[in-house]
Structure 1
């Protein structure tokens, strides 16, 4: 067996004994806390180091816009649906566990919204999973522009490498992503909203589920390629992002582990030369790129004269994962569970 490492699972906390549902919506979200940090409450003003800037909160935000599905699902899982006034950039249906809460949240756009739409939501905080939304060129709005209008911003630590945005600035990682960055995001957002117990309970629940998902699972170094989207020049997972973390946690070996980008675009000839034992296919419920949807990928692998020669295509050794399960989000545990389930059913065929 090749279990998740202690570093990958993150440190266990005293909240591990708490049931996630037991401290969710029952924990009130005050507009401003006067309790001390030592009592497990947030002391305002709160200043967080987020990337290359500091973000100051005088009180818990009251109106939040989330520019990504991953960020939105964290906020909803922390019981903050009443604070979320807009969401955008979705690849998949919402998690079942927060579907009812999500019904109350306005969808500003299926993909990236315009700055005018974000401004119209009258928020006091904008969160994002990917720094491309805050980029000067091609983004929704820069963090400086938000600050000028009195709106705070928060970028997920999963998109930060040495303090700089991977998807918005550097395009590459100097070090592999760990799940600790996701846990930091959960804990920091919980601190911002003064719901730290909910944050600890969510982290503990994810740790437990991740351990269960990989228990007894070991692909034994079999090779894998993760295909997110695009038919002509597929976007595949590089070796330092969230998808490759799924591979190392289950004993798979990413054939593009030498790539420093999260999702480099490569040729099919390059994929065929690598000839992975297993293909993980992005099951996206959007139409941003050709081949976003799973049936389109399967049809392409069945009919394309180049991609069709892949041994995994001929043997239909596919594992379908939602886009949110391939991105750094709380859905990573569902990705691990699906990989584990596939190994238990088909591992003997490899």
Structure 2
């Protein structure tokens, strides 16, 4: 699954240690393994990388690899990244507003492709991406993130962010920036540890139920985040219970009657970034207005009592450093009494 970093003459933790220049051979050769168990060896850090979406792009930017990213698909929405990262992301050529067309990807000149959606066979099989032999012919080595690409293959729900932090560490090894990766992971783990300490030994009966309302995903038939999605780990670490956490997949279309039956204690107004705090605030209000006026939901206790978490979709459902920030915001909202200053 995802990245499995090993190096000749060293352990995985030694591979790519330090912040070394792209041409450095320290920690290499290094082998990565995809979701199907296929292994690919890198003799040195990749120099020209294409990312399939904003998740992989953001992680590479945080690892200091901006000068090696030559293209991306599914670019981050305006305002979705912190200012420093947004400026660097804006310089990355957009090869596809959604999935990168196969011809563009194969002709990009990349020596590595950071893929976050699923197995390459599946992508090739349904026409969304190149096949293995086409990548090889183009000289592109494919790297997958286990926290996203392999989600459908995992067994059981996701209750922590270990797969995300593992990806960050292993990508750091591949990029030759392990020290930077370690700093990012240490920061995430410190914030989560502080939340865990504040919540204490919280019994299941005191964990409120929680529904992620993907407002931008459509209001006709809601899309639920299930147990295999990274959001399930975020919600669990925040001391809550995903009402659709028993669904054995990452996403699932449900009916409003299913949401009503679950009767969540809290509802996240999950909107995608609109580009500014003011625009985001208006989107949150739109989502709330829908729930308070829609016949199926206006009678829910969470709706009548205004138990809403106003938190954008990206840090909750997209794997990355922002997941730790989302854990903190949710916990401080649904367990306000356990934190100084309340909500």
TM-score by length of 2: 0.79
Distance 1:298 1:62, change over 3 A: same
Deviations 1:288-321 (A, max 9, x none): xxxxx64543232122111222221222211122
105-114 vs 179-188, which deviates more? 105-114
CA contact (8 A) 1:281 1:318 kept: yes
1:112 pairs, out of 99, 124, 129, with: 99
CA contact (8 A) 1:132 1:139 kept: no
CA contact (8 A) 1:87 1:107 kept: yes
1:146 CA drift (Å):
1.6
CA contact (8 A) 2:272 2:312 kept: yes
1:79 pairs, out of 59, 64, 77, with: 64
1:230 CA drift (Å):
2.1
Distance 1:314 1:234, change over 3 A: same
CA distance in 2, matches of 1:244, 1:181: 13
CA distance in 1, matches of 2:286, 2:71: 30
CA distance in 2, matches of 1:59, 1:130: 25
Confirm or deny that 1:257 pairs with 2:241: no
Distance 1:59 1:211, change over 3 A: same
1:149 CA drift (Å):
1.8
- Look up the SS of the partner of 1:87 in the other structure: strand
Where in structure 2 are the equivalents of 1:55-70 lying within 5 Å? Answer: 55-70=40-55
Residue of structure 2 in register with 1:301 after alignment:
291
CA contact (8 A) 1:126 1:153 kept: yes
- Look up the SS of the partner of 1:65 in the other structure: strand
CA distance in 2, matches of 1:96, 1:344: 30
Deviations 1:244-274 (A, max 9, x none): 1122212212221210111111000010011
TM-score by length of 1: 0.78
Where in structure 2 are the equivalents of 1:22-101 lying within 5 Å? Answer: 27-33=19-25, 35=26, 42-44=27-29, 46-52=30-36, 53-90=38-75, 92=77, 93-101=80-88
99-108 vs 68-77, which deviates more? 99-108
2:269 pairs, out of 274, 278, 281, with: 281
- Look up the SS of the partner of 1:233 in the other structure: coil
Residue of structure 1 in register with 2:206 after alignment:
220
1:55 CA drift (Å):
1.3
CA distance in 1, matches of 2:266, 2:298: 14
1:227 CA drift (Å):
2.3
Residue of structure 1 in register with 2:301 after alignment:
311
- Look up the SS of the partner of 1:284 in the other structure: coil
Distance 1:314 1:90, change over 3 A: farther
CA contact (8 A) 1:70 1:330 kept: no
Residue of structure 2 in register with 1:246 after alignment:
234
CA contact (8 A) 1:64 1:123 kept: yes
2:329 pairs, out of 338, 343, 347, with: 338
Q: How many residues align?
A: 305
The CA RMSD over aligned residues, in Å, is 2.9
CA distance in 1, matches of 2:271, 2:103: 31
CA distance in 2, matches of 1:71, 1:270: 33
